[in-house]
Amino acid sequence: MKLSPLQIARYQYNPKLPGMLRNGIAEICVKNGAPTESVADQEKIKALFPNTYGKNEITFEKGENTSPAKKQIVGVILSGGQAPGGHNVVSGLYDALKATSKENELYGFKGGPSGLIDDDFIVFTDEYINQYRNTGGFDIIGSGRTKLETEEQFKIVAENCKKHGITAIVIIGGDDSNTNAAVLAEYFAANNTGVQVIGCPKTIDGDLKNEDIECSFGFDTATKTYSELIGNIERDANSAKKYWHFVKVMGRSASHVALECALETQPNICLIGEEVAAKKMSLAQITDYIADSVAARAAKGMNFGLAIIPEGIVEFVPEFSKLIAEINELLAGSKADAFNALATWEEKYAFIKNGLTEESFKVFEILPAGIQQQLFLERDPHGNVQVSLIESEKLFSEMVKKNLAARKAAGAYKGKFSPLHHFFGYEGRCAFPSNFDADYCYSLGYNAFMLIQYGYNGYLSKVSNLSKPAEEWIAGGMPITKMMNIERRHGADKPVIRKALVELDGAPFKFFEAHRDEWAVETCFTFPGAIQYFGPSEVCDLTTHTLALEKA
Amino acid sequence: MKLSPLQIARYQYNPKLPGMLRNGIAEICVKNGAPTESVADQEKIKALFPNTYGKNEITFEKGENTSPAKKQIVGVILSGGQAPGGHNVVSGLYDALKATSKENELYGFKGGPSGLIDDDFIVFTDEYINQYRNTGGFDIIGSGRTKLETEEQFKIVAENCKKHGITAIVIIGGDDSNTNAAVLAEYFAANNTGVQVIGCPKTIDGDLKNEDIECSFGFDTATKTYSELIGNIERDANSAKKYWHFVKVMGRSASHVALECALETQPNICLIGEEVAAKKMSLAQITDYIADSVAARAAKGMNFGLAIIPEGIVEFVPEFSKLIAEINELLAGSKADAFNALATWEEKYAFIKNGLTEESFKVFEILPAGIQQQLFLERDPHGNVQVSLIESEKLFSEMVKKNLAARKAAGAYKGKFSPLHHFFGYEGRCAFPSNFDADYCYSLGYNAFMLIQYGYNGYLSKVSNLSKPAEEWIAGGMPITKMMNIERRHGADKPVIRKALVELDGAPFKFFEAHRDEWAVETCFTFPGAIQYFGPSEVCDLTTHTLALEKA
């Protein structure tokens, strides 16, 4: 295998731990905090988690390590989509485990949660771990999307743990995976397995955060990578002066990624799904909003610009969601047969017009032809519209084009509009973790082992005060149940970690809101450039604008 | 304007000059080389360039500066597509000019060559220049694609030069722009205007190179940026283990960008247009070649991979070029009316079948339906197929899908094939220049002024020995006519700089060829990561694999 010069250099990087974890394993003791309550639905959550509910928050501090001497065999899994830094969680966990006792062992279960069920694992060695330090990707053991949630699965996992003498499992995942971690922890406790479960907060989407978890890992590196590219494209737009770039970024259920990229690059337009939903904006309103910027800039001689579109935007548009629901209903089960039997698109179109409510047909009517056909022709095996396939960046650029043509006909616009499209997602999920993510992840893993060693179960590894230098970070643990509430999922009430959406009264959005009118008309582009791992601290150690604003 | 931390840090960077230019302006003298001949068609080129043909190659060395004292007013333009480092050519030029005499002035003509005709310019100051040092983009004065090639244009330019007392013009551009620079230089000389012309070799495509010019600027930064992204996606593919990524990269007329990215990232597949043309490969052969890799990897349980596709690939496929020519002929002028009058695609399809030769129809027939329609429905104002709009990454992934379905039906393939598509171009044209491009460009600009000061006309600023540290670089000048030959362009014989295609017997391709069979089947991905501007020299100062192999 050929290693790049950067990969070789990154092997030499020593991730920074929180100050309180720097004195060596023998000098880490627990400081007990207050007992916790779940953020909502306390009685219900308590009833569901009788053995793990209400535990104390804890932090670590300098002092004599009083944890019991015990051989630890820990299993770790990576769950869900890749996020930069996952390898450092594993290496931090490994280093703390081995520093505590050379006898301890770390098992990496392969391919995500299914590895725990299939009992497919490797036992980590120094040599193996060293190849992955400070690198991107989840290729150290792979990941997967199997959900660990049924009693039957838990039983198998418990048996596999017993077989190997596993004392604890670390689950590195997003909100769903950590919800499942809490349920597994409760199962282990209720069944006296003696196996502990610790979660680590991962997701580039940034939607696993709350008053305890300041941010999920990977968000920093992924948004920096997308912002590098967006800034480069802005500079290109401002040099060529002839294109409008529509840039879609990952993030289906929340717009944190789009917002952070906007704060870093100051584009002309950035749509925020949560705002679209709160204001019940229509497709026409959004289109008008973008076209206003295009027209205002054209009037100043600037026929170029850049708009950031979050991946899941159309799902936040109420009238669009209603349209999708009606289409799914219209073609449900055998009803699709009549539709499929129609030979031409014209006949199908008449069928659609007849089948939709007048309100939804009006929405359908204004969509570009390509999207109209996609909605009806590309359905999933259950016959449902595949919303994730909708190219929303093209949807809006085409609608803006039409809107501008109408303005031109009315004499209200004289510019040129040449759109180009981009989608950034896979480019950032496996980048070499930034110094921040390398440090944060290593600390999360190191800290996870300290929680294991001190006997905690159903806790999330928590490292906070992240907008400060690592020296001042605070390490500890929080019962996962504290972050939970009851939500309706697939027709049933379920205890889940509440997903963090962009808060419209939060500082990051407020900052964006205060500046976006200027950004829409002027050229206020900012060019972050590529992630730097060496060099001045202000260039290579700062984390996101989102966190800086939230903690300001 | 809000500046990013990296932009502020990059202002502090001092680009490295070739050792021989480091002793101060007063210590730079000329070393004359041999008289030159054009690479081909010597008699014709000589006849066309009687005043500028056959001049000596020159290099600079340490010694007393014997150039005449003369107030220099230099004009500079940026021509064509953006390339990282353009701002440094300007700042190097400015610094040498001001170091020679504070009285000297640098005019920046705006929006490319048209600025020279429209007399639209700014006069650079320290303050203005300082904002652009070591930054990406061409926004310092903008760029444009107007061609400077007619006698009438030259006359206007000469008049504008006379008006301002301009003594020299520096043209920063690709092969076409530098061809035009040579013609303008000859015009200036023939008409005794006293104005000199110096060119600088720019293009991310890497196709302006020859035995004198080792590489064009911007190629290093752009390919590093694309390779960063390709490496990140490879790591993602190797973590998720479920997608085949088809990555199209910029470069229509040559595949240098694709080849360099392949050398940096070791993907499973990289198509090289020049090879496709030389071997007269058919679409079916190329498809088979890719499908072989997919199938071989699937047999080893690896249903993932990455293929790099150069933007202009289909134009290198002989049967495809023939098909395009036939379609253009079939729909030329009024013949399109009959076609356009047909109501349904089925009728149009019959028309096409009837109108194409059997051979070309066979090619047409195997294309995915979307591409078939695009060829006929999206034509330019002259009725020609818009080859540049063809999404070749999707063309091949769809053809591979069909090919694999046939293999599956025959029992020869059992895998899964889920393709994803990317196109990288605009992401890299305006990145902050790498240290290499920052140094190289600054040196090109600095050196260009020395050529002016010593009275040269029709020369290209030449900096060579680039695979060595900057200290060892060699600075000088080469008559542009030396790089020229006669080519047929738009039905007429024209003197042009020969475009450099990928040489199939050159070291970079040979290296690729020697390794690609292994890369196709195994996972040999290499992850270059983001461009680094600080840190260890082996991480932040090395230039391309292409140049390293060519100079090895």
For the stretch B137-157, pLDDT in tens is: 999 999 999 999 999 999 999
Interface contact flag, A526 B228, Cβ < 8 Å = no
- State the pLDDT at residue A384: 80
Residue with the two structure tokens 């900096």: B463
Give the tokens for residue B180: 């035009």
CB B175 within 8 A of CB B497: yes
pLDDT higher than 90, residue B421: yes
Tens digit of each residue's pLDDT, chain A (552 residues):
799 999 999 999 999 999 999 999 999 999 999 999 999 999 999 999 999 999 999 999 999 999 999 999 999 999 999 999 999 999 999 999 999 999 999 999 999 999 999 999 999 999 999 999 999 999 999 999 999 999 999 999 999 999 999 999 999 999 999 999 999 999 999 999 999 999 999 999 999 999 999 999 999 999 999 999 999 999 999 999 999 999 999 998 899 999 999 999 999 999 999 999 999 999 999 999 999 999 999 999 999 999 999 998 999 999 999 999 999 888 888 888 888 888 888 898 999 999 999 999 999 999 998 889 888 877 777 778 888 788 999 999 999 999 999 999 999 999 999 999 999 999 999 999 999 999 999 999 999 999 999 999 999 999 999 999 999 999 999 999 999 999 988 888 999 999 999 999 999 999 999 999 999 999 999 999 999 999 999 999 999 999 999 998
Residues with Cβ within 8 Å of B212's Cβ and at least 6 positions away in sequence, in order, are B57, B460, B462, B464, B478, B482, B483
Taking CA B223 as the corner, what is the angle to CA B220 and CA B227, rounded to the nearest 5 degrees?
135
- Using CB atoms, pick whichever of B9, B229, B239 lies closest to residue A82: B239
What is the residue type of B177?
S
Whether the pLDDT of residue B295 is over 90: the answer is yes
Number of residues that make up chain B: 552
Residue type (1 letter), A120:
D
* Residue A546 host element (H or E): helix A545-550
Task: Please report the pLDDT score of residue A267 as a whole number.
Answer: 98
CA B77 to CA A103: how far, in whole Å? 68
In angstroms, the separation between the Cα of residue B142 and the nearest Cα of chain A is 5
> In the sheet where B269-270 sits, what is the strand order?
B269-270, B305-310, B244-249, B419-424
The pairing of strands B244-249 and B305-310 is: parallel
Place of tokens 């196109």: B423
Nearest to A526 among B4, B82, B429 (CB): B4
**How far apart (Å, rounded) are the C-alpha atoms in residues A201 and A180?**
13
Q: Which tokens in the block code for residue A131? A: 């190849």
One-letter amino acid for residue A48 of the chain = L
- ipTM of this complex: 0.97
Band of residue B343 on the pLDDT scale cut at 50, 70, 90: confident
The yes-or-no answer on residue A205 being catalytic is yes
B3 touches chain A (CB under 8 A): yes
Tokens representing A307 are 């708009």
Chain B touched by A235 (CB under 8 Å): yes
Eight-state DSSP code of residue B55: P
Q: Which residues of B touch A420 (CB under 8 A)?
A: 426
Alpha-carbon distance values, B352 to B328, B376, B444 (Å):
12, 9, 52
Distance from CA of B97 to the nearest CA of A (A): 25
Q: Angle at Cα A508 formed by Cα A507 and Cα A512, nearest 5°?
A: 110
pLDDT of amino acid A10 = 98
- The verdict on pTM exceeding 0.90 is yes
CA distance A93 to A74: 9
What whole-number distance in Å separates Cα of residue B434 and Cα of residue A126?
A: 35
**In the predicted model, what is the mean pLDDT of residues B176-200?**
97
From the candidates A205, A212, A220, A439, give the one annotated as an active-site residue.
A205
The tokens describing A407, both together, are: 């303005």
pLDDT band at B238 (very low <50, low <70, confident <90, very high): very high
Higher pLDDT, B386 or B45: B45
Nearest CA distance, B71 vs chain A (angstrom): 31
Chain B residues 161-200 within an 8 A CB cutoff of chain A = none
Strand-pair category, B105-109 with B121-123? antiparallel
Cβ atoms A32, A106 nearer than 8 A: no
CB contact under 8 A, A7 and B233: no
The percent helix, strand, coil of chain B (3-state, each to 5) is 45, 15, 35
Report which residue type is found at A459: Y
| C-alpha dihedral (A93, A97, A99, A105), degrees to nearest 10 | -120
| Cβ atoms B39, B483 nearer than 8 A | yes
**Residue (of B329, B331, B363) closest to B348 by Cα position:** B331
Which residue of chain A has the CA closest to B421?
A: A423
Asked whether A451 and A28 are in contact (CB, 8 A), the reply is: no
- CA distances, A277 to each of A286, A392, B248 (Å): 11, 16, 36
DSSP state of A27: G
Q: Which tokens sit at A139? A: 């290729």
- pLDDT for the residue A252: 86
Secondary structure element (H or E) that encloses residue A197, with its range = strand A196-201
The stretch B272-283 carries a mean pLDDT of: 98
Strands B474-479 and B459-464, by their bridges, are antiparallel
Q: Is A533 on the interface with B (CB under 8 A)?
A: yes
- Stated as kind and residue range, the H or E segment containing B307 is strand B305-310
Alpha-carbon gap, residue A60 to A56, rounded angstroms: 13
Question: Distance between alpha carbon B230 and the CA centroid of its chain, in Å?
Answer: 19
User: Cβ–Cβ of A4/B233 closer than 8 Å?
Assistant: no
What confidence tier does B375 reach under pLDDT thresholds 50, 70, 90?
confident
Instruction: Return the pLDDT at A117.
Output: 97
Chain A positions in Cβ-Cβ contact with residue B4 (cut-off 8 Å): 231, 264, 526-529
Assess whether pLDDT exceeds 80 at residue B377: no
Q: Does B231 touch chain A (CB under 8 A)?
A: yes
A-B Cβ pairs (cutoff 8 Å, strict): 187
Give the strand pairing for B168-173 and B196-201: parallel
CB-based burial of residue B376 (10 Å sphere; 0-12 exposed, 13-18 middle, 19+ buried)? buried
Identify the weakest region by mean pLDDT among B263-272, B314-323, B372-381, B466-475: B372-381
Distances (CA, A) of B123 to A330, B25, B94: 66, 22, 11
Amino acid at A196: Q
The continuous run of DSSP H or E covering A233 comes out as: helix A219-240
pLDDT confidence bin for B427, thresholds 50/70/90: very high
Tell me what pLDDT residue B527 has.
Answer: 98
Distance between CA A393 and CA A267 in Å, rounded? 15
Q: What percent of chain B has pLDDT over 70?
A: 100
| Mean pLDDT value across chain B | 95
Find the residue in A nearest to B426 (Cα).
A233
CA-to-CA distance for A401 and A416, rounded, in angstroms?
10
- The yes-or-no verdict on residue B252 having pLDDT over 90 is no
What's the distance, CA B503 to chain centroid? 16
Residues B459 and B475: their CA atoms lie apart, in Å, by 13
Paired tokens of B148: 């400077």
Cβ-defined contact of B245 to A426 (cutoff 8 Å): yes
User: To 5 degrees, how large is the angle CA A516–CA A517–CA A520?
Assistant: 80
* Helix (H) or strand (E) run with residue B90 in it: helix B86-100
**Res. B502: pLDDT tops 90:** yes
CB B204 within 8 A of CB B86: no
A66 φ, ψ to 5°?
-105, 10
- The residue behind tokens 């520096």 is B170
Paired residues of A269 in beta bridges: A307
The confidence score (pLDDT) of residue A299 equals 98
CA distance A206 to A219: 6
Residue range A24-75, pLDDT digits in tens: 999 999 999 999 999 999 999 999 999 999 999 999 999 999 999 999 999 9
CA A143: distance to chain centroid? 15
Mean pLDDT of B442-456: 98
Percent of chain B having pLDDT more than 90? 89
Nearest CA in chain B to A13: B535
Q: Tell me the C-alpha distance between A91 and A87, whole Å.
A: 6
